Each structure stands twice: as C-alpha cells, then as structure tokens.
Amino acid sequence: MPTIYLTGEAKSPGNNPITTQYGMFFVGLVVDTGSHVILDADCTATLPLTVSFVKELLVGRPLLEDDALAGSITERYHGSSQRALVASVRSAAAKYRDLSADPAA
C-alpha cells in the first residue's frame, strides 16, 4: 500500500489562538494512493481534543470525496476554525488531485 503525506492550509480567524501560534491553519494527511483513503491526520490545533476530533472526522474517509468531508465537518465541528478546517481539507484534496494527474508523480 503506497502512501503519501500532504498538507492543506487556510487562513484561520484573527481572534483564534491558532492564528497567534501558527499564523495559519494546517492539516497534515497520510493518504493511501491506491484507495485514496486518509490513513492518518493531524492539524495545527491548540487543544489535543481538537486534534483527536479532527482525526476522527477524517481518518478512514476518501480524500477525493472532499464535498462529503466538508459536509461532515460543517455538521459536526463547531469550533471557531471550522471554515479554516474545511478550506484546508479542500486545499489538500486539490493538491492530491494535481499529484494524481501528474504522470511523473
């Protein structure tokens, strides 16, 4: 099972501790390139519980189904960085599509 690691990033709200600590919101994903399924996830959250919850939302789900991932995040994640999380997952999915389309990758 070949895997890749990629990141997605987005602006987080100015009043969010994530912005103070990291400047932006980042999500890191390990993806199985055969099934496109997210095997592991991490993010630049300031609370360990947030990281754990984001992992629960993403792991085991296909990255190429970013509309469904965004819907799940919007339904279940009600932290101040919700939009940033959605945008960073979409950013990672776009990078993944670009890599998948590149024959040299």
Place of tokens 């996830």: 41
Report CA dihedral (94, 64, 55, 72) to the nearest 10 degrees: 100
Give pLDDT tens digits for 35-64: 999 999 999 887 899 999 999 999 999 999
Task: Copy the structure tokens of residue 32.
Answer: 């199985």
Instruction: Give per-residue pLDDT as tens, 83-105.
Output: 999 999 999 999 999 998 866 65
Domain ranges of the chain: 3-101
Reported pTM: 0.87
**CATH architecture of the region 3-101:** Alpha-Beta Complex (3.90)
